[in-house]
């Protein structure tokens, strides 16, 4: 049996599901959350029992710092959906979000290495 059907209805369902994950919201609670921002789970997030599947996946993945873009790719949701979900988790103190300071002109070497590793994994 072919589990990967590609009917118009199936494509429509794949588009609706991410919309449902965010409750129809398209903006993150963190204004202008950059794709390179690093996300790190907190003890509160690790201990939270009420997290839905995708939110739990984000907290589990971010045991070590991970970029918003990499989180999106790893859990298989569009970038906008990942931003909203990360914003919600941040609001609930389940993750920390670390952004580069505006005055820092040099890229973070750790971030560049993680992006490179993510690209190689694709």
Q: Is 109 exposed, middle or buried (0-12, 13-18, 19+ CB in 10 A)?
A: exposed
Mean pLDDT over 71-87 rounds to 87
Rounded to 5 degrees, what angle do the CA atoms 108, 63, 27 make?
75
Q: Is the pLDDT of residue 52 over 70?
A: yes
Q: Is the pLDDT of residue 22 over 70?
A: no
What's the full length of the chain, in residues? 122
Residue 36: CB atoms within 10 Å: 17
Report the C-alpha gap between 40 and 98 in whole angstroms: 8
More confident residue, 38 or 22: 38
Band of pLDDT at residue 4, cut at 50, 70 and 90: very low
Q: Is the pLDDT of residue 107 over 80?
A: no
- In the chain, what are the domains? 27-121 (1.10.10)
pTM of the model: 0.64
């Amino acid at each position: 049996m072919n589990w990967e059907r590609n009917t118009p209805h199936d494509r429509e369902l794949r588009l609706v599901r991410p919309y449902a994950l965010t409750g129809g919201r398209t903006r993150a609670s963190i204004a202008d959350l950059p794709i390179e921002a690093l996300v790190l789970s907190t003890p509160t997030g690790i201990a939270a029992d009420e997290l839905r599947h995708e939110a739990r996946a984000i907290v589990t993945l971010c045991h070590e710092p991970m970029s918003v873009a990499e989180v999106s790719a790893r859990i298989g949701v569009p970038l906008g959906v990942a931003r909203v979900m990360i914003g919600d988790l941040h609001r609930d103190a389940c993750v920390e979000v670390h952004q580069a300071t505006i005055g820092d002109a040099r890229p973070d070497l750790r971030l560049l290495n993680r992006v490179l590793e993510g690209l190689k994994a694709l």
